[in-house]
């Protein structure tokens, strides 16, 4: 019975498939394996080296501190006859009661985001 089933399957097989005898020798060549291992190890070494360099660069990086800008302010808004400004060095918001600056802001000669020095 198994002989009959095998015969039936061989008849229904799609054309184009290779028979087992037609297949090339699939044994891996030791040189090919060694070469693929070398490529893989060099790739892993490159990735790890890049990661180490990034971590060292991050450890050595010193962020810049506040800018030393003596008496420099960035205008935020004008309200109630005062100019709200932000100190450039510290980022602290202060209120300036200078009527010349308020008048200039209302006329449009100085605008939000402009830097003034006092």
Cβ atoms of residues 95 and 84 within 8 Å: yes
Nearest in space to 118 (alpha carbons), one of 67, 74, 68: 74
Q: Is residue 11 part of a domain?
A: no
Q: Tens of pLDDT along the chain (118 residues)?
A: 555 555 556 556 665 555 555 555 556 666 777 888 888 899 999 999 999 999 999 999 877 665 555 688 899 988 888 899 998 878 889 998 888 988 888 888 888 888 888 7
Provide the domain limits for residue 110: 72-117
pTM attached to this predicted model: 0.40
Q: Is residue 76 part of a domain?
A: yes
Q: Is residue 103 part of a domain?
A: yes
Q: Is residue 111 part of a domain?
A: yes
Q: What pLDDT is attached to residue 53?
A: 95
The count of structural domains within the chain is: 1
Q: What pLDDT is attached to residue 50?
A: 96
Q: Is residue 53 part of a domain?
A: no
Cβ neighbors of 88 (< 8 A, separation 6 or more) are 67, 69, 72, 73, 74, 115
Q: Is residue 5 part of a domain?
A: no
Q: Is residue 8 part of a domain?
A: no
């Amino acid at each position: 019975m198994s002989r009959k089933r095998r015969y039936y399957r061989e008849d229904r097989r799609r054309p184009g498939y290779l028979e087992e005898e037609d297949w090339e020798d699939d044994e891996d060549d030791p040189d090919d394996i060694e070469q693929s291992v070398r490529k893989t190890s060099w790739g892993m070494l490159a990735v790890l080296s890049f990661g180490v360099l990034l971590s060292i660069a991050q450890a050595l990086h010193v962020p810049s501190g506040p800018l030393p800008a003596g008496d420099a302010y960035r205008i935020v808004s004008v309200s109630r006859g005062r100019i709200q400004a932000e100190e450039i060095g510290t980022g602290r918001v202060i209120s300036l009661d200078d009527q010349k600056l308020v008048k200039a802001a209302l006329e449009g000669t100085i605008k939000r985001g402009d830097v003034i020095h006092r």
